């Protein structure tokens, strides 16, 4: 999803959204899938998109070497069915033989329309009107968690609100797709949009297994008797007391457990090596 606030630079937003949406004819997993904006923003944004599409791909995108084709006929058929949603205000042309679908913008789209029921993965851009930032956030949160969330806003508080109140693989403010070029930044989804992350050190760790190794010496067995059966009421009450103390995690409780273990250790050492002479004087 891509939210465009009322205070956005709409010319900038239209260029960056068009680049993100129509690169490879929309066949990227992080392309903006749909637009959320106030009704007062919609017409200006559409004008910006129309100008940008002409600038990027010329009067006829079909003739442009910079505009791609759909990967196969099956996906052309799938996208053709999705275009029945709403009303087409830009594009809409299809050449099935060439697997060409023009850069397309749809308005008057409802959340229940087919184009809103799946990842589009093509050059179709539906626009949904919302009355407020809160409504946009609610709309995003009632759907599957996206791989990427784009927010265009000049007020950083608006961006922060989306970061804090939504869940997504990533949030990109005032741009689209470009964040994946930072190879040190984790790339991955949440829930339905994916599990795990990769890129740089994160990718190395994701495909590595961190194997814990715990080793202890064959000594101090008397300290361990508390955990062995048979269990009597005294032992159980001591264990419960120790667990309760550790869960409360007050400073005095945290200090108590190391002191107790240190006491056991000192007792064991003195038993083995004997008391120093100055203890006996």
Q: Confidence class of residue 117 from pLDDT cuts 50, 70 and 90?
A: very high
> Of 113-117, 184-188, 266-270, 272-276, which gets the smallest average pLDDT?
272-276
pLDDT of the residue at 191: 83
Q: How far apart are CA 71 and CA 100, in angstroms?
A: 10
Q: How far apart are CA 47 and CA 122, in angstroms?
A: 21
| For range 98-113, the mean pLDDT | 97
Between residues 43 and 228, which one has the greater pLDDT?
43
- C-alpha gyration radius of the chain: 31
pLDDT of the residue at 93: 97
Other Cβ atoms less than 10 A from the Cβ of 208: the count is 8
pLDDT in tens, 192-224: 887 788 788 888 888 899 999 999 888 878 777
pLDDT in tens, 126-162: 999 999 999 999 999 999 999 999 999 999 999 999 9
Q: How far apart are CA 270 and CA 44, in angstroms?
A: 84
| For range 42-66, the mean pLDDT | 98
Other Cβ atoms less than 10 A from the Cβ of 247: the count is 8
Whether the per-residue pLDDT at 54 is higher than 90: the answer is yes
Q: How far apart are CA 191 and CA 202, in angstroms?
A: 18
Q: Confidence class of residue 260 from pLDDT cuts 50, 70 and 90?
A: low
Contact 61, 103 (CB under 8 A): yes
Mean pLDDT of the chain: 89
What domains, with CATH codes, occur in the chain?
2-205 (3.40.309.10)
> Of 25-29, 77-81, 203-207, 241-245, which gets the smallest average pLDDT?
241-245
Q: How far apart are CA 61 and CA 160, in angstroms?
A: 37
| For range 241-260, the mean pLDDT | 63
């Amino acid at each position: 999803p891509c939210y465009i606030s009322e205070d956005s630079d709409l010319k900038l937003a239209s260029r960056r959204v068009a680049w993100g949406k129509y690169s490879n004819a929309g066949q990227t997993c992080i392309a903006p899938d749909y637009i959320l904006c106030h009704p007062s923003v919609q017409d200006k944004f559409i004008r910006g998109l129309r100008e940008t599409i002409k600038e990027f791909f010329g009067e006829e995108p079909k003739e442009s070497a910079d505009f791609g084709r759909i990967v196969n006929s099956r996906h052309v058929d799938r996208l053709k069915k999705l275009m029945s949603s709403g009303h087409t205000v830009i594009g809409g042309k299809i050449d099935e033989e060439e697997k060409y679908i023009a850069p397309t913008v749809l308005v008057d789209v409802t959340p229940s329309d087919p184009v809103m029921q799946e990842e589009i993965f093509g050059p179709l851009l539906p626009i949904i009107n919302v009355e407020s930032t809160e409504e946009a956030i609610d709309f995003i949160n009632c759907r599957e968690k996206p791989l990427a969330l784009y927010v265009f806003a000049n007020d950083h508080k608006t961006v922060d609100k989306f970061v804090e109140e939504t869940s997504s693989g990533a949030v990109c403010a005032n741009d689209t797709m470009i964040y994946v070029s930072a190879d040190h930044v984790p790339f991955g989804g949440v829930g339905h949009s994916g599990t795990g992350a990769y890129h740089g050190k994160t990718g190395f760790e994701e495909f590595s297994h961190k194997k814990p190794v715990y080793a202890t010496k064959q000594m101090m067995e008397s300290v361990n008797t508390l955990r062995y059966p048979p269990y009597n009421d005294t032992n159980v009450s001591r264990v419960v007391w120790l667990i309760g103390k550790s869960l409360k995690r007050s400073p005095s409780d945290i200090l108590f457990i190391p002191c107790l273990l240190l006491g056991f250790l000192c007792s064991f050492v003195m038993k083995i090596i004997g008391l120093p002479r100055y203890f006996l004087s």
